[in-house]
Amino acid sequence: MESWTYASLPKFSLACKQFELTKCLKVYDGDSFHIGVIINGHPFKYPCRLLHVNTAEIKTKCQAEKSMATLARDRVRELILGKIITVKRGDFEKWGRILCTVQCPDGKDLSDTLIQEHLAYPYEGTAKFQGINPPAEFSGCCTKRCQACPEGGRCPKCHQINTNCYMWSALLEQSQ
């Protein structure tokens, strides 16, 4: 250890490895959950962020987004909570969670399932709703989350429907 320097040691990473026997312990929302796994003979719990998708947020004032978040969370609970799953690990994201893909007990990819069931949209860490464009009348100046859906989710500045609310509302309709 005396010869170690910052430059001589690689950054700790779990990238490109797979947890074969992993149990889902807790599901927060459609793309965030905790796993139980054995590392070096010891059991640990660790938070994870599902790769390749984005789901609605549980903590929001937008009712359309909250409804979508509840549907996605409940479906993920149904698919993996308390079950043995295969987790392919990526690196850590900015909040310290492991970025990962999940193979459900039935062998299907969790991200693909959520997209097919209209509970999530494809996401690679760039712009939200990339490739999904609302009609022109919904592209107001306000693209951030609405604040308690004022005026039915309309932007207080331009009075057009908030893009974020429109997108979650559209996915909510498709998922039902």
Averaged pLDDT, groups of 10, the chain, 176 residues long: 76 64 92 88 88 89 82 96 91 88 96 92 68 48 47 51 61 66
pTM of the model: 0.74
Chain centre to alpha carbon of residue 127: 14
Q: How far is CA 81 from CA 29, 140, 156, in A?
A: 12, 39, 40
Backbone angles phi, psi at 117, to 5 degrees: -90, 10
DSSP helix/strand/coil, 57: coil
Q: How far apart are CA 25 and CA 163, in angstroms?
A: 34
Nearest to 19 by CA among 55, 56, 45: 45
Asked whether the beta carbons of 78 and 34 are under 8 A apart, the reply is: no
Question: For residue 108, what pLDDT is reported?
Answer: 97
Residue type, 168: W
Q: What angle do CA 133, 136, 138 make, to 5 degrees?
A: 80
CATH of 17-131 among 2.40.50.90, 3.30.70.20, 1.10.3430.10, 1.10.10.10: 2.40.50.90
Question: For residue 118, what pLDDT is reported?
Answer: 86
Q: How far apart are CA 128 and CA 73, in angstroms?
A: 19
Q: Where are the domains of the chain?
A: 17-131
Asked whether the beta carbons of 160 and 154 are under 8 A apart, the reply is: yes
Q: How far apart are CA 118 and CA 38, in angstroms?
A: 33
